Structure 1
Amino acid sequence: MAPSTPNIQTFETEDQVAIALAVYILHLSAKFIAANGSFSVVLSGGSLIDTLRKLTEPPYVDSIDWSKWSIFFLDERVVPLDHPDSNYKLAYDGFLSKVPIPESNIYPIKERLSPEEAADEYEQRLKDLVANKKLRTSEITGFAKFDLMLVGMGPEGHVASLFCWHFQRFEKIKWVTFITDSPKPPSNRITFTFPLINSASEIAMVVTGEDAADAVKVALGPHASYGFPLPVQKVSPEGGLTWFLDKAAISEL
């Protein structure tokens, strides 16, 4: 499969990124609901949730059929769902509690499991949803095919919990894997693998702030193909790849 040619969109401010992202998601929601009767969305943590804030405001919040949305998590810290480090809690407080997505359509990790058990359980749940026709399947990879993945990037170029120095970034078989030595606490996490990530119909890479500028330069600059690739450079979906960047994030380009 040929690598995706990214659509790179740049904006002066983070607020303009948030508006553009809301318009983009509004369009995709209508498109996939019209085609399939549903819209599967994968969230990552960090600043991405704040960048989704425009979707909780008029006119966007009133223009989306939220009942058709299903929410999944790109990676998660293996902590209780009400823990301050939980991506689910971050997403709930900043986004999910402000829009009427049915609770039964939101898929957090199971609590009180080990990292390995949590990863295996989440993968099995995804496979069950595929078997029950709640999720589509990639004809290319056989992995679940999500409609939209909303992906952030760490300052050193990691995505999900796939870090430069972890072998999990090379996983080819598992849909969901785990780590127990994250460089940033908490150390226990589960994460989608690149084959699952890249089976998506659409991926939005949402990157803002000056602390991301060096990694953006490596990923998108003229020497992007040199040397050992950053994890973010392995993001290459079957469908579309759109980067949403503010001026600070592209300041080194």
Structure 2
Amino acid sequence: MHTPSAPILYSFADPNNLVDSLARFIIKAQKESIEKKGRFTIAISGGSLAQQLNGLIGKPGVKWEKWQVFYADERVVPLDHEDSNHRLCNDELLSKVPIPRQNIHTIDYSLADDIEELADAYEKELIREFAQKDAARFPVFDLILLGVGPDGHTASLFPGHELLSEEDRWVAYITDSPKPPPKRVTLTFPVINHAARVAFVVYGPSKVDIIKTVLDKPEQGLPPSRVRPISPGQVYWFTDADASAKVEYPRTPFKL
């Protein structure tokens, strides 16, 4: 087993610089992935993260037709519901760029009455994209974008929840989410930790204490601290000055 690399922390005084730098980072990851294997696989979480992706709109060098978009987690609600991660990402980004609709992989809400079947169906979406092409035990996403909740959850992996110990499934379900809506599906740690890159995007003063705990006290085992992609994978943190104000963890100047 390869030893995980230490996280890289970027902190931006200007929120606009964070958005622009994140866009440049994503485009570079996309370019390297397409050159290597002809496609770019990305998983996106919900919450406020989607709002930070609009820096991609109109940027040169984005090959939308090569993107395969999945969701790191999703709330089990209709896709046009205000709680849907897909709706948020669609409103903020996907509806504004020429990405083929068939390259956007959503949950099948028609299966909502049987959440286990719904999770299995979404796992099969991943299998169609990854297992047939990469022959890997777990999918290797080119990039997974995650946020962090004030309670320390990421994707729909909550502190103290039994899903934190899931080792086999690619997609798991939760029916007792500590924050509404209660029914969700989520990528598991084995999937997240096999990614080539994982980037947390966190901003605002409401996150200042939880980010300090995650980065300065990883031994507490909060879910984001458990995101340590196996080598050569790498985890990055894109934060603003408010979110990282109390963090003692060393910052790295952003450059590509």
**How high is the TM-score relative to the length of structure 2?**
0.91
State whether residues 179 and 190 of structure 1, in contact with CA within 8 Å, keep that contact through their aligned partners in structure 2: yes
* Alignment RMSD: 1.3
Give the conservation status (yes or no) of the 8 Å contact 1:207–1:246. yes
- Post-superposition Cα deviations, 1:36-62, rounded to whole Å, max 9, x if no partner, equal 1110011100111100011013xx1x3
2:75 matched to which residue of 1?
77
User: In the alignment, does 2:168 pair up with 1:169?
Assistant: no
Q: Match of 1:193?
A: 188
User: 2 CA distance for matches of 1:83 and 1:8?
Assistant: 34
Q: Give the letter aligned to residue 210 of structure 1.
A: P
1:181 to 169, 173, 176: 176
Q: CA deviation at 1:127?
A: 1.6
Say whether the 8 Å CA contact 2:42–2:68 is kept in structure 1.
yes
1:248 corresponds to which letter in structure 2? D
Judge which range, 160-169 or 1-10, deviates more.
Answer: 1-10
Structure 1 position 230 matched with structure 2 position 222: yes
CA distance in 1, matches of 2:177, 2:50: 21
1:240 aligned to which of 229, 234, 239: 234
Displacement, 1:92?
0.6
1:153 is matched with which residue? Answer: 148
Aligned twin of 1:128: 128
1:92 is matched with 90
Pair 1:8-2:15 in alignment: no
Residue 183 of structure 1 deviates from its aligned partner by 1.6
* Cross-structure match for 2:253: none
Contact kept, 8 Å, 2:53 with 2:93, in 1: the verdict is yes
Secondary structure at 1:144's aligned position in 2? Answer: coil
Shift of 1:137: 4.9
* Structure 1 counterpart of 2:124, one-letter code: Q
Instruction: Give 1:6 shift.
Output: 1.2
List gaps (5 residues or longer) in structure 2. Answer: 248-256
Percent sequence identity is 43
- Match of 1:64, SS state, is coil
The offset of 1:8, in angstroms, is 1.0
1:31-42 counterparts in 2 under 5 A?
31-42=32-43
- Kindly indicate whether the alpha-carbon contact (under 8 Å) linking 2:72 and 2:186 is maintained by their aligned counterparts in 1: yes
Which secondary structure state, in structure 1, belongs to the residue aligned with residue 108 of structure 2? coil
Looking at structure 1, the residues matched to 31 and 245 of structure 2 have their Cα atoms a distance apart, in angstroms, of 34
Local SS of the residue matching 2:225: helix
Q: Which has the higher helix share?
A: 2
Do structure 1's residue 143 and structure 2's residue 138 form an aligned pair?
yes
1:165 CA drift (Å): 2.4
For residues 14 and 188 of structure 1, what CA distance do their matches in structure 2 show? 33
1:17 is displaced (CA, Å) by: 1.1
Cα distance in 2, alignment partners of residues 115 and 214 from structure 1 = 34
Aligned to 2:250: none
Instruction: Find the aligned partners of 2:110 and 2:24 in 1 and give their Cα distance.
Output: 38
Query: Per-residue deviation at 1:156?
Result: 1.7
Give how far 1:3 is off: 2.3
Give the unaligned 5+ runs of structure 1: none
- Whichever residue aligns with residue 130 of structure 2, its letter is V
Size of the alignment, in residue pairs?
Answer: 242
SS in 1 for 2:109: coil
Separation of aligned partners in 2, 1:137 and 1:150: 23
Deviation at 1:87, TM superposition (A): 0.6
Contact 1:156-1:212 within 8 A present in 2 as well: no
> In 1, distance between residues paired with 2:206 and 2:135?
36
Q: Does 1:67 align with 2:65?
A: yes
Q: Deviations over 1:77-104 (max 9, x none)?
A: 0111111111111111111001111111
